[in-house]
């Protein structure tokens, strides 16, 4: 079932940004892309949140590994939760993005 009237091929070509959240370090790029294409700042803000969550916690985790391994594990769990949230959020945002692109 198509989301828009433009057809399945158009929807698939405009949904290639969903590949970005599957990469750990670049999960935020897809949200910057759709935020820039539609002019919606909420997706850019979510991109910043995922950027801080993924790229910001990894250097902190490396520093904390020298202090205590438990803190390192907690940071990595937060990083992975942010990564999984970015993937789920990308699939939830796809429909709204396609509707906005069609309009």
Residues of the chain with pLDDT > 90, as a percent, come to 10
Q: What is the mean pLDDT of residues 48-68?
A: 81
Predicted confidence (pLDDT) at residue 76 exceeds the cutoff of 70: yes
Lowest mean pLDDT among 64-68, 74-78, 95-99: 64-68
Contact call for residues 56 and 28 (beta carbons, < 8 A): no
Predicted confidence (pLDDT) at residue 77 exceeds the cutoff of 80: yes
Predicted confidence (pLDDT) at residue 1 exceeds the cutoff of 70: no
Taking the C-alpha atoms of residue 63 and residue 13, their distance in angstroms, rounded to an integer, is 41
pLDDT value for 44: 92
Predicted confidence (pLDDT) at residue 45 exceeds the cutoff of 90: yes
More confident residue, 12 or 89: 89
Q: What is the pTM of this model?
A: 0.80
Contact call for residues 19 and 85 (beta carbons, < 8 A): no
Predicted confidence (pLDDT) at residue 6 exceeds the cutoff of 80: no
């Amino acid at each position: 079932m198509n989301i828009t009237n433009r057809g399945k091929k158009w929807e698939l070509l405009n949904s290639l940004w969903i590949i970005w959240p599957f990469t750990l370090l670049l999960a935020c790029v897809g949200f910057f892309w759709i935020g820039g294409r539609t002019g919606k700042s909420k997706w850019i803000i979510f991109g910043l949140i995922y950027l801080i969550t993924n790229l910001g916690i990894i250097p902190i985790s490396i520093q904390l590994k020298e202090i205590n391994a438990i803190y390192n594990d907690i940071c990595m769990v937060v990083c992975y939760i942010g990564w999984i949230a970015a993937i789920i959020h990308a699939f939830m945002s796809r429909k709204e993005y396609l509707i906005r692109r069609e309009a």
